Amino acid sequence: MNVRNLLFASSFSLFLTFSAQGQVYQKIENQYGPVLGYSTTSGVKILSIAGNKFKDLNRNGKLDRYEDWRLTAEERAKDLASKLSVDQIAGLMLYSRHQALPAPAFGFMGGTYQGKNYQEGLVSPWALTDQQREFLEKDGLRHVLLTAVKDPETAARWNNELQGFVEGLGWGIPANNSSDPRHNAVVSAEFNAGAGGQISMWPDGLAMAATFDPAIVKR
């Protein structure tokens, strides 16, 4: 990701534009508030109020309470919840099935890219699959379970693609990505299966025992 150009600076905020593989992200630094970032392809606009910058996530041209970073998280969440339909709230309670980056052609983590598998689609490994776009947009799901990842760069770029996509949907609610805890009878099974070539491998029970250090195992 490279800095493309400095748009402008004022006594209150600083605007920077970044580009990455066709996506353009803008970073806004408020002098007395948080640093904001958004995808310029999402349709989200920036509101200027009393020298501060806010993301107009629902694109209605005004600052809603849930968009106001000066309020508490509880106040913002309560306002957003009051605007959501029952179906939208239900979507936020769902979790995706296991996701692989890139998605294999077959199996329970399989996926397609514009109707083609990864090898045929000529897309980057961090592109969103057709299935991911569907459950994010149609089902309103925002909790995504990652298992197999090619490498750290793929994970980071995929997250940028994901957040840019959901930012342009409805209320602009971001996605939450996670992986399973070690709950298998074989400690290393799922973590090592999803490690990928450059992702750290988790030691299994035998390796932990070989340290002869209960404190490390407990930690």
pLDDT score, position 208: 75
Strand partners, 116: 113
Tokens of 164: 């840019």
Distance CA(210)–CA(217), nearest Å, equals 10
Report which of residues 3 and 89 the model is more confident about: 89
Specify whether the CB–CB gap between 100 and 147 falls below 8 A.
yes
Element (H, E) at 3: strand 2-9
Mean pLDDT of 169-173: 97
The pLDDT-based confidence of 209 (bands split at 50, 70, 90) is: confident
What residue ranges in 40-178 does DSSP mark as E strands? 45-49, 52-56, 95-101, 143-149, 176-178
pLDDT score, position 188: 54
% helix, strand, coil for the chain, step of 5: 30, 25, 45
The pLDDT-based confidence of 24 (bands split at 50, 70, 90) is: confident
Convert the pLDDT of each residue in 91-112 to its tens digit: 999 999 999 999 999 888 899 9
